[in-house]
Amino acid sequence: MPVYIRKNVNFTPPSLDRIPLEDEDDYITDPDQLKDPLPQPYRMIDKVLGQLVEDVWDIVESRENERLEEGRKVRPPRHENTKSLEYLRKCGCMTDSGDGLYMFIGHSKGIIVIDANTQEKVTLWEEDRVDLQYIRAHIIAPNVYLLVSIDDMGFSRLHAFSGDKLYLLKHLNEHQEGTDKMIINKCKASKEGDYLGVVFENPESRDIWLEIHKLPRESWVTELDNIKAKLQKKEEPKEVKEVKEEESTETAEPVEGTDGEKSESQSQIQQSQSNEDTAGVKFSQPSLVFKLKQPPQVSALESRGNLSSSVYSTCQKVDSGEVIGTGQNHVLSTTQIELRKEVFDHLHENLLEYAPKDDTVDNIQDVNFHFLNAGKMIPLGLENPANLTIPTTVAVWWKDSTHVMHYSLLKTPGKDETKPDMVWPFTAKITSSAVSDETSLMIIGLVDGNIVLWDRYLGIQRGVINISDNSCIDTLLFLDPSICPQEMTEYPPYSTRTTSYLLVLCRNGAMYAVLMGAGGTQAEPICLSP
């Protein structure tokens, strides 16, 4: 059937007025709406699977971030055990020589000296019933070392190691018949062995005091050189005999036994002979600089008045008020203090039963001290700035005390030999302290969680930092600046470097790192372990 189509007929769009308006429902904001909704229960299964995938992806991201953070950390070097020293058993303490050549180990029978490079036994010092718990070494001359040790019974000894031999210099508290037994709680020498501080305790009377001794370092070095020269003269004919014996034994039959047993037996014989040669040698004795007795506690000062017999002597003992003192000398008499206590008890008789009772336990106070080189804080004439390596003062603070007292080591002893030359007062009880290697910086830790840094070389207080509000400061340590980063910080009027790095340990176990600069803290304390 034929179809008739009009020619020259085009499609004409409708007019704009007739175009319908766009429906807003045609637009969607959620791409998931493009999909048809699933019927139940497939819709719930889809949501559970989607949430599971998101949770797994979060776990993967967290683990990846932890792996990246762990890879950015600077790991300490790991060193493998090169040699096991089986003969070292029941060791109580050890220390190095300071120059990395020897190791000094205290065990249940004495002291063993070991070569740090070969791990071989150099010499030993043995004595029955001597179990060392503390040992420190100081270089007093080239290849001459001073050893300070304390055993478990409270006896302290001074040894010298020179020429592969140990010499007993001094027994500090050797018990003698007819005298009270004294034990030593603490014994510490200065860096180069010029001075020695010893804390004595009387177990019967429970008295404790500190003695500062001047060590004859130069005399000991001279005496050791003379002893070594005499021993060399004695050993020369022995060496000739040993050479002849070795030549004769080469032709003889070999003796049963291994080479290790021979070398050990020979070394033991040589060590016993060296101990016998150095047993009867006498050395110069240390000289006492001054002696500090235990100060009265705060509770004792509240109930004890001035013990002077007259008003004139009372006024003589009272400080002039020009400098800061310890507060022990005052004009209040014992009768006046007792009268004030009676009046207080009479006025508050009904409330005394609720007052806390006094603790009758008398705890023995501990004393801490540091040997300090010359600075700019001690009065002129009490320090020797010409030689900056020799200590000129000693800083002392007692347990439950709020004062750090400085005593000059160059002052001639007299009537006021135990009077401090300078006193640092603090707002809370002191719990710890530390001194840098060059003794120019001193850090004080307080019971309220604050630390105070003093610059003794410049004579200024560097800053006060609050470490913790919940715990007191237990241990302070200066870190070596060479292992810490040196970053220039903008401190007006010029950029400065970090001058000191501190490691702070609180009583609750938290550890912090503090960076100190010329103007105080460079940043907030960094918590290493909460």
User: Is residue 37, in this structure, part of any structural domain at all?
Assistant: no
Of 137-141, 178-182, 195-199, the poorest mean pLDDT is in 178-182
Tally of domains within the chain: 1
% the chain with pLDDT above 90: 13
Report the helix count and the strand count for the chain, using DSSP H and E: 6, 27
| CATH code (residue 151) | 2.130.10.10
Q: Contact at 8 Å (CB) between 130 and 159? A: no
Q: Contact at 8 Å (CB) between 407 and 393? A: yes
Tell me what the pLDDT averaged over the chain comes to: 77
pLDDT score of 279: 56
Closest CA to 464 of 506, 513, 421, 514: 514
Of 9-13, 234-238, 262-266, 462-466, the poorest mean pLDDT is in 262-266
User: Is residue 59, in this structure, part of any structural domain at all?
Assistant: no
User: Is residue 351, in this structure, part of any structural domain at all?
Assistant: no
**pLDDT greater than 50 at residue 269:** no
Question: Judging by DSSP bridges, how do beta strands 450-455 and 460-466 pair with one another?
Answer: antiparallel
Token representation of residue 248: 């004769």
pLDDT score of 455: 84
pLDDT score of 271: 52
User: Is residue 209, in this structure, part of any structural domain at all?
Assistant: yes
Per residue in 62-117, pLDDT (tens digit) is 999 999 988 887 777 887 777 777 767 778 888 998 888 998 988 888 889 998 88
Using 50, 70 and 90 to split pLDDT, how confident is the model at 444? very high
User: Is residue 278, in this structure, part of any structural domain at all?
Assistant: no
pLDDT score of 348: 84
Dist. CA 7–CA 293, nearest whole Å: 131
List Cβ neighbours of 48 (8 Å cut-off, separation of 6 or more): none
Q: Point out which residues pair with 112 in neighbouring strands.
A: 105, 124
Q: Quote the pTM value.
A: 0.71
Dist. CA 419–CA 53, nearest whole Å: 76
**pLDDT greater than 70 at residue 287:** yes
**pLDDT greater than 50 at residue 217:** yes
Using 50, 70 and 90 to split pLDDT, how confident is the model at 517? low
Using 50, 70 and 90 to split pLDDT, how confident is the model at 388? confident
pLDDT score of 263: 47
Closest CA to 200 of 351, 425, 367, 396: 367
The residue segments making up the domain with residue 100 are 91-220
Q: Which helix (H) or strand (E) holds 242?
A: helix 217-251
Dist. CA 139–CA 504, nearest whole Å: 29
Token representation of residue 328: 């022990």
**pLDDT greater than 60 at residue 264:** no
**pLDDT greater than 50 at residue 257:** no
Q: Which residue has the higher pLDDT, 309 or 275?
A: 309
Closest CA to 214 of 78, 390, 88: 390
pLDDT score of 256: 43
pLDDT score of 260: 45
List Cβ neighbours of 495 (8 Å cut-off, separation of 6 or more): 488, 489
- Where does 220-372 show beta strands of DSSP type E? 287-293, 367-372
Closest CA to 446 of 465, 425, 429: 429
- Could you tell me the sign of the dihedral formed by the alpha carbons of 317, 320, 324, 327, in that order? positive
User: Is residue 147, in this structure, part of any structural domain at all?
Assistant: yes
User: Is residue 193, in this structure, part of any structural domain at all?
Assistant: yes
User: Is residue 247, in this structure, part of any structural domain at all?
Assistant: no
Walk across the sheet containing 287-293 and list its strands.
183-189, 195-202, 207-214, 287-293
